[in-house]
Amino acid sequence: MNVTRRSLTFFGATALGGAALGAPAWASVPTTLRAVALQPTGGGGVRVALALNARAAVNTFFLSGPDRFVIDLANTRLELPHGAAGEGQGLGFIRRFRHAPRPDGNARLVLDLAGEARLVRQDLGGREDPNIRFDLAAITLNAPQRAPQEYLGRSAPRRTVVIDAGHGGRDPGAIGATGVREKDVVLNTALMLRQALESRGRYSVALTRDRDEFVELEQRVRFARAQNADLFISIHADSHANAAAQGASVYTISERGEDRAQSMVSAQNWQIDLGEAPRQGVARDILVDLYQRETTNRSAQFAQTLIPRVGEVAPLLRNTHRNAGFYVLLAPDVPAVLIETGFLSNVADERRLTDPRARERLAEAMAQSVDTYFAGPQMYARA
């Protein structure tokens, strides 16, 4: 039995595959593994989702002869539907998965692979969301290696970006100090952003509105989901009674918003691609929660990419990254941000937002953020 390729260590676990994990102090009470789910990730990849009731130290490693991917969870009990020891059905290049408790109180999950594989990304959970996810991809021998510039070029799969210009039609939004209307400013910015993205030749870009018309919030979300959007950017401008308030800010969904989104899944019968997973019962609920959490992580990742870029061309509001339950952020399967580009109630911000050159610089900053977001490894880890 040979340990190959890599050994990954998290939360202070030992770096030797197969050795006992050192459980941190916060893990004195055993963690419970409640479900294991395999989901397709596109391009033949597979996501391994582990539903836990609390955080667990994790050690992962690959084995060869035969090929396997091993996940050890420190101080963890197995309370799975088919018992503590058993196996589950595979997916794609994962033939099956096996699990069993170990004498040291840890739990081991072994994925039997059809060939060599690599770890593409992981979400190791956190205090608010202890669930763990690993994305695996099969290694194709003798496959030509794609250069980074080719990956970012026209030969790469197109990402779908939906741009949402806030308000419109009978809803003017915020009114500036000199009468400038939010709906006009953000529509022009959205059109500039579309142009900037389309000029790159690697995005499919759609707008929730491309003219002065009113679009219901529900329609905006439905439109993004119908487009199978990889990213949703809602553009707004703010207003405040304090005319000194100035600067851009970026919102992602709050915990209360996540709860609202899960309610919307049932209330509006939103269909979420869960692969071959059950469509009803506890397993489905867990998977929907995992899906929502990953979407939240992706949204936060884009926000953290976007903020410094915007800060290069515009002032930023203090505590720039904020959380809210805005309706346009509720889609459980579309990473989304809402950017407040500035305060129309502030003279300096209003002057900037009505300057075509300043809006063009802002649109280009947002487009560069999209480039960075999709070019990166997209490792999703919550603090």
Q: In 3D, which of 139, 96, 136, 133 has the Cα closest to residue 115?
A: 139
Q: Give the C-alpha separation, 161 to 144, whole Å.
A: 29
Domain annotation covers residue 321: yes
271-to-39, 170, 184, 265 alpha-carbon distances in Å: 15, 31, 34, 7
| Percent of the residues in the chain that have a pLDDT greater than 70, as a whole number | 76
User: Is residue 145 assigned to a domain?
Assistant: no
Give 342-366 pLDDT, tens digit per residue.
Answer: 999 999 999 999 999 999 999 999 9
Question: What's the structural domain count of the chain?
Answer: 2
pLDDT in tens, 320-335: 999 888 888 888 788 9
Mean pLDDT across the chain = 80
Q: Are 72 and 106 in contact (CB under 8 A)?
A: yes
Residue 140 has pLDDT above 70, yes or no: no
Q: Are the CB atoms for 40 and 137 separated by under 8 Å?
A: no
User: Does 24 share its domain with 74?
Assistant: yes
Buried b (16+ CB within 10 A) or exposed e, 341-366: bbbbbbeebbebbbeeebbbbbbbbb
Within-domain flag for 381: no
- Is residue 370 in some structural domain? yes
Same domain for 210 and 345? Answer: yes
Residue 222, exposed/middle/buried by CB under 10 A (0-12, 13-18, 19+)? middle
pLDDT band at residue 287 using 50, 70 and 90 as cut-offs: low
Final residue of a domain: which of 138, 158, 189?
Answer: 138
CA 63/CA 5 separation, integer angstroms = 8
Residues 13 and 129 placed together within one structural domain of the fold: yes
Whether 138 shows a pLDDT value over 60: the answer reads yes
Q: Tokens 């977001």 map to which residue?
A: 373
- Token look-up 């400013």 returns 185
Residue 118 C-alpha from the chain's centroid: 20
Query: What CATH number is associated with residue 251?
Result: 3.40.630.40
Residue 50 lies in a domain: yes
Do both 82 and 184 map to the same domain?
no
Within-domain flag for 134 = yes
- Residue 38: name the closest of 83, 84, 95, 117 by CA: 95
The residue among 106, 138, 170 that closes a domain is: 138
Mean pLDDT of 23-52: 79
Average pLDDT of the segment spanning 248-264: 73
Residue 65: what pLDDT?
84
Residue 128 has a pLDDT of 76
Residues 120 and 155 in one domain: no
CA distances from 241 to 103, 173, 249, 283, 346 (A): 64, 15, 17, 48, 10
**pLDDT band (50, 70, 90) for residue 83:** confident
Q: Is the pLDDT of residue 23 over 80?
A: no
Structure confidence at residue 305 (pLDDT): 92
Q: Is the pLDDT assigned to residue 281 strictly greater than 70?
A: no
48 and 99 fall within a common domain:
yes
Backbone angles phi, psi at 67, to 5 degrees: -75, 130
In the predicted structure, residue 68 carries a pLDDT above the cut 70? yes
Same domain? 241 vs 350: yes
Task: Flag whether 170 is in a domain.
Answer: yes
Nearest in space to 162 (alpha carbons), one of 211, 225, 213, 218? 225
The reported pLDDT for the residue numbered 228 is 86
Residues 186 and 51 in one domain: no
Do 123 and 199 fall within a single domain? no
Residue 342: closest CA among 212, 226, 223, 243? 243
Work out the percent of the chain whose per-residue pLDDT is above 90.
45
Residues 279 and 239 in one domain: yes
Give residue 288's pLDDT: 55
Last residue of a domain, one of 111, 138, 165: 138
- Give the domain extent around 279: 150-375
Mark whether 99 and 206 lie in a shared domain. no
Q: In this structure, are 134 and 163 located in the same domain? A: no
pLDDT of residue 121: 80
Report in angstroms the alpha-carbon separations of 171 from 73, 175, 290, 347: 52, 11, 36, 22
pTM assigned to the model: 0.59
Does 250 score more than 60 pLDDT? Answer: yes
From residue 100, alpha-carbon distances to 46, 77, 82, 241, 352 in Å are 22, 9, 11, 61, 61
d(C-alpha 131, C-alpha 50), whole Å: 6
CA angle 150, 151, 156 (to 5 degrees): 100
* Residue of 153 and 75 predicted with greater confidence: 75
Name which residue leads in pLDDT, 52 or 22.
Answer: 52
- Specify the range with the lowest mean pLDDT, choosing from 201-215, 243-257, 300-314: 243-257
**CATH number of the CATH domain containing 37:** 2.60.40.3500
149-184: per-residue pLDDT in tens? 333 333 457 899 999 999 999 999 999 989 999 999
In a domain, 33, yes or no: yes
Q: What is the pLDDT of residue 339?
A: 97
